[in-house]
Structure 1
Amino acid sequence: MLILLPPSEGKASGGDGPPLDLGALSLPEVTSARQAVLDALDALCSGPDEAARTVLGLSPGQQDAVERDRALRDAPTLPAAGLYTGVLYDHLRLPALLDGATAAAAASSVLIFSGLWGVVGPTDPLPPYRLSMGVRLPPLGPLGAFWRGHLTDLLSKRADGELVVDCRSATYAAAFKPAGAVAERTVSVRVVRETTDGATVRRTVVSHMAKATRGAMAHTLLATGASPTTPAELAEALKDLGHPAELTPPTARNRPYTLTVVERS
């Protein structure tokens, strides 16, 4: 089973690990692509501050993010599991999963997408940074398309024979779109809140709750050692683990299943 995650906008402020070593990251096949993005980001942040903030989608009050990106090569690092914060990661509790019996499963099953690094694993040592997959980074262009060109074949091979649980947002899903046999084993996780008022049942999508639910769901799968191999087995496993889920078949060729996790209140 592979669990695909977005990063978080919020990140830990620092670490005490050695400076960045691109060769130490997971999926070394994309080291040259990571170097290209790092070089482009460094060039952007070495120029006028206002231009850098505009490209990165930052306000004047976020100038510290530009300054942090300028110092990436020499900044101390920390494991990705501790770097990414926010609602999804608060509920995923990756550091706890990497301690003890679940460590191997968590390290091998979780892939975190990143505008700067493409894809990383939970134990990869990274410095704090700011670069969304939605950025159009000169001279590379839209990062989603850039990374899709470098990751599609690699991740398709990595996912061969695996159930893929896709918890990414649309911005990060642009970097890898499962197709063919991989799409047939992929579920895109959707979360809805269900409320009942008399005989009327309403379902709404709430992004904050969705992040929490995706994190909690992924934690439960890894912590319990669940090993579903098909979308149907995943839906049944989640029901048994307290996450009511409904499976919808693909609507077209090269599209994933949709797994709707229902939070009732």
Structure 2
Amino acid sequence: MIVLLPPSETKRPGGDGPALSLDTMSSPALNATRDELVSDLVGLAADRPAARKALGISASQDAEIDRNAVLRTAPTLPAIHRYTGVLYDALDVESLRGAAVSRAQERLTVVSALFGLIRADDRIPAYRLSAGSKLPGRPTLAARWKPALEAVLAGVAQQELVVDLRSGSYAALGKVPGAVTVDVAAEHADGRRTTVSHFNKAHKGRLARALAGTRSDPGDAAAVAAVARRAGMRVERRGNHLTIVVPA
């Protein structure tokens, strides 16, 4: 089983690993697009107004541009430790122990706007690029990623069950045939349900933690739902789609 996570805008600074080396990353078929995007961001960093516009940030966030300027020389961290925020706080991979650590390393992946599909232990620098960013004079990130990324994801799906926890903009970078998809719904006292937006990240983080740590190896959506229920989550299944139901 492979769990696809979205990245986060917030990232831990610094790192204790060597500079970025695309040749040592997983999914080498993505390296051409990775290298192009890294070069684009490094070059764009020289024009702060253009970089702010492309990245959707303000002058108070120029430190993000500074990060992009040194992408090729900055220290790295394993991807699963680089990302922070609501989903990653709920995942809390640092607290995993024993065999759960190795299972998390094997199962957890991230689909990044800069690096495409990356494994938990792929070492990356801090950066700023979102799936919706629009680099000047370039096609959309979805157009740039789709051909190579969908081929890689299809290959993964042929070997493993894929549980796709990505948000819509990151799912648009590359679809996965036959993946188990997940949404979160808030149930009101009168039975009405509404979509959970921001806090769906926390519930998906909890599910990712349960899937990373379980001794079982789910082979279908029903088995994924069973893992979630054992972790105390209320889950409904319709085919390959799961809905986590939470109180409003």
Unaligned runs of at least 5 residues, structure 1: 250-256
Take 1:95 and 1:32, find their aligned partners in 2: how far apart are those partners? 32
Shift of 1:139: 4.3
What letter corresponds to residue 15 of structure 1 in structure 2?
Answer: G
Partner of residue 114 from structure 1, selected from 98, 107, 112: 112
Query: Structure 1 residue 127: deviation in Å?
Result: 0.9
Query: Aligned partners of 1:80, 1:58: CA distance in 2, in Å?
Result: 23
Give the match for residue 78 of structure 2. Answer: 79
CA distance in 2 between counterparts of 1:21 and 1:137 reads 23
Q: Identity over the aligned pairs, expressed in percent?
A: 41
- Structure 2 distance, partners of 1:208, 1:157, is 31
User: Is residue 218 from structure 1 mapped to residue 201 from structure 2 by the alignment?
Assistant: no
What amino acid does structure 1 have at the position aligned with 2:18? P
Q: Find the aligned partners of 1:214 and 1:4 in 2 and give their Cα distance.
A: 11
What displacement does 1:188 show? 1.2
Q: For residues 63 and 11 of structure 1, what CA distance do their matches in structure 2 show?
A: 15
Cα distance, 1:94 vs structure 2 = 2.2
Deviations 1:228-249 (A, max 9, x none): 2111222233223311111123
Q: Is the 8 A contact 1:192 1:205 kept in 2?
A: yes
* Contact 2:101/2:213 (8 A) holds in 1: no
1:207 CA drift (Å): 2.0
Q: Which runs of 5+ in 2 are unaligned?
A: none
Q: Is the 8 A contact 2:211 2:224 kept in 1?
A: no
Whichever residue aligns with residue 188 of structure 2, its letter is T
TM-score by length of 1: 0.88
In the alignment, does 2:244 pair up with 1:261?
yes
Q: For residues 68 and 186 of structure 2, what CA distance do their matches in structure 1 show?
A: 38
Q: Is the 8 A contact 1:40 1:140 kept in 2?
A: no
| Match of residue 208 from structure 1 | 198
Structure 2 distance, partners of 1:207, 1:151, is 26
Q: In the alignment, what sits opposite 1:29?
A: 29
Q: Deviations over 1:161-197 (max 9, x none)?
A: 4221111001100111123xxx2xx22110112231x
1:136 is paired with a residue of what secondary structure?
coil
Describe the shift of the 1:136–1:188 C-alpha distance in structure 2 as closer, same or farther (beyond 3 A). Answer: same
Q: Does 1:153 align with 2:151?
A: yes
**Who is 1:253 aligned against?**
none
Aligned length: 248
| Structure 1 residue aligned with 2:219 | 229
Distance 2:26 2:8 in 1: 19
In 2, the alpha carbon distance for the partners of 1:23 and 1:222 equals 26
Q: Quote the Cα distance in structure 2 between the aligned partners of 1:248 and 1:118.
A: 29
* Residue matched to 1:17: 17
1:22-101 equivalences in 2 (<5 Å): 22-46=22-46, 48-97=47-96, 99-101=97-99
With structure 2 as the length reference, what TM-score do the two structures score?
0.94
